[in-house]
Structure 1
Amino acid sequence: MRLLIPYINAMIKLRLETLRLSVSGRITGTVYINLSKVFFPEETWNDFPLTIFNWWSHSFLNGNEGDYRFMDGPFYFKIIKKNGLYFLEGFFDRKLIVSTELDIDEFQCSLIHNIEILLNTIKKNKWDIDANLDIELLNENLCKLKKNI
């Protein structure tokens, strides 16, 4: 069953208190899209924010539209433009399960904010991770996103 949500602010949510550095050097944490009282994929979704924020910022910088994947599981969302309006559509496998109109500027600000939270947490905790290239790329993408505001 597809859930059609009237216009709301779709906000990326990275829960700072859940961020952890695994023994293998990967950062995990709860990350999801908050669609008012609907959460995609779910409010307790645990994933790899460094990886997915790199993917999402890359997709956003390449024209906003496209697939925004989660690393764990078959969930992803698309941002599409129809008649001058943007929409966020959430999928499980290839099945559309949620759709809402999207304020693309607010979504961009949400992406920037959560990338900053992640990068600041890595720096503050002095996490020695084996992903310096990923951090460097995310910093570059963050600078580009900020220039596009």
Structure 2
Amino acid sequence: MIISIGNDHAGPNYKNAIVTFLKEKGYTIINHGTDTFDSVDYPDFGHAVANDVESKKANFGIVICGSGNGIAMTVNKHQDIRAALCWTKEIAELARLHNDANILSIPARFTSIEQAVQMVDVFLSTAFEGGRHANRVNKIACK
């Protein structure tokens, strides 16, 4: 499975921990994130991840910024993206189970690295439930 990841200056430590975790699990990583704490613009990294997921170059995406909001708003501008801003592994699970989210957005300033890795693990290991949720998910896109 291929995972595209992007982060701004709030997330290099988070990204590095997540990439290490994912590589240990055998995932292939496309890294669009910055490795420094110098101020950068999160949309530059978010759009790159969304493009990977939208074009099916990656199966899922992970985006990280300080609040998780700005980068989630950015990726959700893409037609086929359903990004979920998550603070807990339970929310991450429901984002996949009920919403078929394909990008996980992590708020680096409001979660620990350990929580972030747990969210990634749950997000990637949870399948979409379908059923009654499929009709709702189909109504999200404005095509």
Looking at secondary structure, tell me which structure has more strand per residue. 1
Looking at secondary structure, tell me which structure has more helix per residue. 2
Structure-2-length-normalised TM-score = 0.28
Question: Which protein shows a greater Rg?
Answer: 1
